């Protein structure tokens, strides 16, 4: 999943029948320095990680990888919450 500004894109590498992929954005991802992204898993047992954090070098793009196709939890949906937090050393 990639997020830039108010646009989110999901790329599914292994689609299963009946699988639904959803992304809800409630605010725009900041496009200036002084912010960091935090992530929390609310439900599901899949593996997830931030592989690219927003920066001026990558056009303020966030990339998250989610792996939830393991047979140990085939029916569990992964629900993540991501939010932007102002860094303590940010000016202005």
Domain boundaries, the chain: 2-86
Handedness of CA 55, 50, 23, 21 (dihedral sign): positive
Nearest to 28 by CA among 66, 82, 88: 82
**Residue pLDDT, tens place only, 43-87:** 877 778 889 999 999 999 999 888 766 555 556 677 888 888 888
Q: What is the pLDDT of residues 14-34, one digit of tens each?
A: 656 655 667 778 888 888 889
How many CA within 13 A on the CB side of residue 76?
Answer: 18
Question: What's this model's pTM, rounded to 2 decimal places?
Answer: 0.71
């Amino acid at each position: 999943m990639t997020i830039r500004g108010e646009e989110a894109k999901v790329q599914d590498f292994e689609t299963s029948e009946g699988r639904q992929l959803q992304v809800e954005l409630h605010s725009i991802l900041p496009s200036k320095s002084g912010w960091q992204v935090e992530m929390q898993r609310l439900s599901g047992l899949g593996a997830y990680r931030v592989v690219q954090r927003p920066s001026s070098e990558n056009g303020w793009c966030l990339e998250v990888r989610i792996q939830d196709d393991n047979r140990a939890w085939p029916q569990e949906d992964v629900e993540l919450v991501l939010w932007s937090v102002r860094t303590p050393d940010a000016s202005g």
